[in-house]
């Protein structure tokens, strides 16, 4: 489904969904959504969100059936929005609307937010297993193949860090302790704060994964300090663990390097008006700073420690 449909065209599609058919509706575009269009639908009876997607491109590795399945699992875990309907033929996932504040990076500086976020993540991870798995090392290789095959622009020197990336992969693989259901894309805008609890949304990249990828990727995307990462990991595990904090930080670095290529693919292919190249370079430069920084050797040692 094209993401540039008019409200009239959207309403024609919504009329094909039994929950919405025949009801008066007010449509409002929600912010965010770099691969989809999120539309808030207000009816006399309830409020919904339609995640409208263009299913013509497969370059980002998004499986919409898996997204729906895992969104339902997150709902069962008690941290996800209710799934009302799923129409892959229309490119629409219809969800219940979650009342609350969509977080920003600044919100993670407020007292108590990191602890609430950790509780929500833990609840998701303790919930029903997801369909499929997510591994950034596999995803990075797939994205790199797409970038090279399509001739998309890539940061200068990107390949120079392949050995470091592989060295991190080797250590993380040796110390792997299994997977849990992960969102894998918990940037600040995917946290909805509702009083004393937090909801987690957007399961496009969800799959069973190392829990420390979730923690580290959130650290990277929400621009937390290393002290805040330590706080986040401690809140998640119930105590401070040097090996888990190191593991989460390494996974966050891995995420920056891998997601760089996501930005390159979007920069070369997306019709959305957004600076994907700037987004990619921000992550790439962050990854390189960590690769070349003074802490990498310590992190590789710490992740192999007993605690």
Identify the structural domains of the chain with CATH numbers, from first to last. 7-96 (3.30.200.20), 101-302 (3.90.1200.10)
Nearest of 1, 36, 14, 10 to residue 204 by alpha carbon: 36
Nearest of 283, 253, 296 to residue 155 by alpha carbon: 283
Question: What CA–CA distance (Å, rounded) separates 102 from 104?
Answer: 7
Q: How many residues does the chain have?
A: 307
Question: What CA–CA distance (Å, rounded) separates 117 from 224?
Answer: 13
> What's the CA dihedral at 149, 155, 157, 163 to 10 degrees?
-70
Question: What CA–CA distance (Å, rounded) separates 223 from 108?
Answer: 9
Nearest of 264, 270, 226 to residue 246 by alpha carbon: 226
- Contact yes or no for 172/251 (Cβ under 8 A): yes
Write down the pLDDT at residue 291: 97
DSSP 200: E
Question: What CA–CA distance (Å, rounded) separates 102 from 117?
Answer: 12
Write down the pLDDT at residue 53: 87
Show pLDDT as tens, one digit a residue, over the chain (307 residues).
445 678 888 999 999 999 999 999 999 998 776 778 899 999 999 999 999 987 666 788 889 999 999 999 999 999 999 999 999 999 999 999 999 999 999 999 999 999 999 999 999 999 999 999 999 999 999 999 999 999 999 999 999 999 999 999 999 999 999 999 999 999 999 999 998 899 999 999 999 999 999 999 999 999 999 999 999 999 999 999 999 999 999 999 999 999 999 999 999 998 888 999 999 999 999 999 999 999 999 999 999 988 8
Q: Give 180's strand partners.
A: 209
Write down the pLDDT at residue 109: 96
Q: What backbone torsions phi and psi does residue 184 show, to the nearest 5 degrees?
A: 70, 5
Write down the pLDDT at residue 1: 43
Helix (H, G, I), strand (E, B) or coil at 47: strand
How far, rounded to the nearest angstrom, does the alpha carbon of residue 188 sit from its chain's CA centroid?
A: 10
Number of CB atoms found within 10 A of residue 223's CB: 14
Write down the pLDDT at residue 2: 47
How, if at all, do strands 197-200 and 191-194 pair?
antiparallel
Helix (H, G, I), strand (E, B) or coil at 228: helix
Write down the pLDDT at residue 249: 98
């Amino acid at each position: 489904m094209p993401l540039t449909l008019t409200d009239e065209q959207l309403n024609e599609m919504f009329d094909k969904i039994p929950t919405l058919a025949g009801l008066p509706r007010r449509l409002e575009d929600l912010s965010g959504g770099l691969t989809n269009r999120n539309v808030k639908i207000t009816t006399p009876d309830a409020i919904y969100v339609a995640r409208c997607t263009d299913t013509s491109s497969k370059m980002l590795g998004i499986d919409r059936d898996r997204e729906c399945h895992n969104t339902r699992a997150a709902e069962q875990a008690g941290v996800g929005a209710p799934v009302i309907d799923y129409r892959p033929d229309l490119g629409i996932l219809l969800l219940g609307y979650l009342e609350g504040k969509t977080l920003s990076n600044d919100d993670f500086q407020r007292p108590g937010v990191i602890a609430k976020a950790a509780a929500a993540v833990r609840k998701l991870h303790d919930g029903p297993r997801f369909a499929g798995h997510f591994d950034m090392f596999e995803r990075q290789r797939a994205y790199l193949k797409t970038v090279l095959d399509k001739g998309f622009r890539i940061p200068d020197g990107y390949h120079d860090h392949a050995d470091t990336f592989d060295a991190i992969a080797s250590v993380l693989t040796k110390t792997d302790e299994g997977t849990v259901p992960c969102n894998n894309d918990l940037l600040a805008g995917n946290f909805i704060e509702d009083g004393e609890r937090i909801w987690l949304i957007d399961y496009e990249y969800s799959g069973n994964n190392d829990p420390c990828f979730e923690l580290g990727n959130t650290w990277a995307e929400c621009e937390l300090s290393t002290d805040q990462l330590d706080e986040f990991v401690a809140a998640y595990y119930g105590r401070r663990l040097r090996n888990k904090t190191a593991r989460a930080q390494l996974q966050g670095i891995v995420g920056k390097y891998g997601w760089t290529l996501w930005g390159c693919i979007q920069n070369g292919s997306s019709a959305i008006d957004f600076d994907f190249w700037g987004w990619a370079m921000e992550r790439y430069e962050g990854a390189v700073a960590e690769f070349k920084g003074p802490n990498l050797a310590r992190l590789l040692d710490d992740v192999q420690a007993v605690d």
